[in-house]
Amino acid sequence: MTWNKHKYRAVKTTIDGITFASKREAKRYTELKILEKAGYITHLELQPEYQITINGIKICKYIADFRYFTVRAESNERSYNSKGEWQTPTLTGDREGQIVEDSKGFKTPIYRLKKKLVEACYPGTIIKEV
């Protein structure tokens, strides 16, 4: 008899025809889709790859769960148009910051090493665990 249990008890889940490695990752995808539809984030990307190359030698690659950009409002203050009417601050679409996310229930030593390598090789990139 063969058991197909995941080592860390993750359960594969399919949403929108996309199979995710865990329920946690699938749930986060649903949350990010809502944020993207509402205009708070843009350019949602699944499974972005980062090549780790040091001194011209390919060491490994890291595959994150998600990458996206936050969108900021032009102003948090009350603003009025030329007619003196209340004007809601609009989303500019400017990229305030790139967010790289990984849905983790358990941080393996390999993951910790790859995270440090990506953050060192790609300045400004910070991996956020959710």
Q: What is the per-residue pLDDT for 25?
A: 93
The answer to whether 31 touches 103, Cβ cutoff 8 Å, is no
DSSP 9-72: ----EEETTEEESSHHHHHHHHHHHHHHHHTSEEEEEES-EEEEEETTEEEEEEE-SEEEEEEE
Cα 125 → chain centroid: 11
Residue pLDDT tens, the chain, 130 long: 455 666 677 888 999 999 998 999 999 999 999 999 998 899 999 999 999 999 999 999 999 999 998 886 544 444 555 565 554 444 444 444 789 999 988 899 999 999 999 999 998 888 999 8
CA-closest candidate to residue 44, choices 33, 57, 28: 33
The model carries a pTM of: 0.74
